[in-house]
Structure 1
Amino acid sequence: MFLRKIKEKESGILLYGITPPKIQTAPEKVITIAEKTLERIYPLDIDALVVYDVQDESARTSEVRPFPFTGALDPFEFTTTHLQSLSIPKIIYRPAGKFTKEELAQWLQDLTDNKCYPVLVGLPAPDYKVKTSLKEAYEIWSKHKNDSVIGAVTIPERHATLGDEDIRMMDKMESGVSFFVSQCIFNIDYARETLEALAATCKYKKQEMPTVIFTLTVCGSVKTLEFMEWLGIHIPDSLKNELITTDNTVEQSVKIALDIADELINYCSEKSIPFGFNIESVAIRKEEIDASIFLVNKIGEMLKAKGLRKKSGEIAEQSRA
């Protein structure tokens, strides 16, 4: 179970991340999308499904957004209405500042009742009027700490720029956060530097390391590459050149993701850092969706080869026992 693995700091966690359908999608089309989503997720050996909250981040930068923003359905409503037959836990993102304390308290209760776990995020625009601070949101959540876990986001690029990601993470850990889901990883050095800083801070404060779940994604085109950079994801020039010059961007991005996963598995295992992976599937093109399925299965195999996930035969044997 996802809850047990986080509480016991077990490595090898595997998640799959999706976004809900666009807000203007016709109701019958939403049902079709949900059915196709379930079809591809049912066979996956994952610990939980991540459902993102889509926010407009245009105010964060003066650069023109490569793709126009389109809002999406509420992730919790989409999950409880259309994905209930999927028995695995769901991890739901929400910007706490958009909601009053009363609204957030009810939402957190609903999540707990439905065996969902929250990841609270900040607001996309610095001038947005905050209704509930993250610290207040964590205090509201604390009544569920015996039956739930709460996550937060970590951004290695922010550490490369400001050098304080470890302090930000520690502050959230002191408020009850026990796992972090990263922004998409393309720069392995940034990820390692963040982990090294966090490990040093945890050692100084005599705290255990939290579980860090690294997000990996499929890049299907040069336009998508530009969008990821617009979001603040740093892609080293060498990898960017590989993605731009290759004859098959999807295939090359999968290869890059697997190489990154291999490095992170070895690094975290060596340093005894509890970790896992979240494979994003936010594209609408079939080729990219299929590639995300291949990626999550392949990384699952890599984790099993390292003894970090049980093989199907071992699971069956354990069930019989």
Structure 2
Amino acid sequence: MFKQKILNKKSGILTYGMTPPKAANSPERIAEIAQLQIDRLKELDIDALILYDVQEEAERVDQERTFPYLPTIDPATYSDHYLSQLEIPRIIYRCVGNYTETQFKDWIKADINRDKFSVYVGASSSKQEVKLDLPSAYTLSKQLNNNLTFGGVIIPERHILKNDEHIRVVNKIKQGCDFFVTQATYNVEASKNLLSDLYYHCTNNGIEMVPIIFNLAPCGSTKTLEFMKWLGISIPKWLENELKYTNDLLDKSIHLSRKIFEELLDFGLEKGIPIGCSIESVSTRKSEIEASIQLMSDIKELLDKKMKKVEFSVR
């Protein structure tokens, strides 16, 4: 079902994203964390689970990282060895520059007879040394595994500065990307500007649009807010003020995230742009993780309602 939704370019894809545990944890602690995550996720009605491949990104910005960087377990390893109880398709993020061509080929060809899904991430900055670039990763994937469906990252904030993110997306579609996932979305104006430019470019050039999955992440503290800004997430000043000066920051961020996604979804449905949603918590705090599960439920209800209206109007 998930693969068909992607390949048929359907709206309404819903995923949940999370980062594997820190590599420094003991095997017993990793198993304990995994079981907690399984218990949270097994009842969720989602299309896929995203597992992130985290890189340090120290060269991307001059400011000190809000939370210290600690290496995490390889997402494919975590998926196979610790989350096998979950009967949910996995989307494995790959920071391709961290892998040699041989390492990347070995991963592509592993379990070649089953459906695999991935999102390929390039270098975090031009200063970062890479062992493998994105075009090579795309080419190898198409050559070596017909059951591997891969996507890319889309950054609306980058469109504000360079006004060419839609061209990047189109070039990646031409190289084989079947879907895209954004980073956490708080700037609805930047996102709609990008969608608009992408839509009209594709329409004018006879290019079929692929699903764009917008990421939402609740924010439960000013420290999480600062970390989001460090990650490069664009938070408009008015929205930042709304979060900083509210009596309940977490509840406010959930409310605003719902409104932002509904506006983007309506914009996409009106134009026939396939829009989906992914939820995550960038914090490991229990309250923010639980808030992300609540937001997932809210977005699921919203998507069901909107998709039913679309199906009814088609009839």
Task: Output the TM-score relative to the length of structure 1.
Answer: 0.93
Deviations 1:235-271 (A, max 9, x none): 0111101110111111111011111111112111111
**Greater alpha carbon shift after TM alignment, 106-115 vs 32-41:** 106-115
Alignment of 1:105-254 (within 5 A): 105-110=105-110, 112-113=112-113, 115-143=115-143, 146-254=146-254
> Aligned pair count?
310
Q: What amino acid is aligned across from residue 136 of structure 1 in structure 2?
A: S
Q: C-alpha distance in 2, partners of 1:293/1:197? A: 32
Q: 1:309 to 1:214 in 2, by over 3 A?
A: farther
Helix, strand or coil: the match of 1:50? strand
Deviation at residue 204 of structure 1 after TM alignment: 2.8
Matched residue, 1:316 = none
The answer as to whether partners of 1:15 and 1:47 remain within 8 angstroms in 2 is yes
Q: What amino acid is aligned across from residue 31 of structure 1 in structure 2?
A: A
The answer as to whether partners of 1:12 and 1:308 remain within 8 angstroms in 2 is no
Q: 1:79 to 1:282 in 2, by over 3 A?
A: farther
The answer as to whether partners of 1:16 and 1:48 remain within 8 angstroms in 2 is yes
Runs of 5+ unmatched residues, structure 1: 311-321
Q: What amino acid is aligned across from residue 169 of structure 1 in structure 2?
A: V
Q: What amino acid is aligned across from residue 203 of structure 2 in structure 1?
A: K
Helix, strand or coil: the match of 1:152? strand
Task: Output the TM-score relative to the length of structure 2.
Answer: 0.94
Q: What amino acid is aligned across from residue 236 of structure 1 in structure 2?
A: P
Matched residue, 2:260 = 260
Helix, strand or coil: the match of 2:148? coil
Q: What amino acid is aligned across from residue 27 of structure 1 in structure 2?
A: P
Q: C-alpha distance in 2, partners of 1:47/1:298? A: 15
Helix, strand or coil: the match of 1:238? helix
Deviation at residue 149 of structure 1 after TM alignment: 1.6
Deviations 1:141-188 (A, max 9, x none): 103664332110000000000111011111111100010000111000
The answer as to whether partners of 1:16 and 1:50 remain within 8 angstroms in 2 is yes
Q: C-alpha distance in 2, partners of 1:200/1:5? A: 23
Q: C-alpha distance in 2, partners of 1:90/1:278? A: 13
Q: C-alpha distance in 1, partners of 2:176/2:273? A: 18
Helix, strand or coil: the match of 2:179? strand
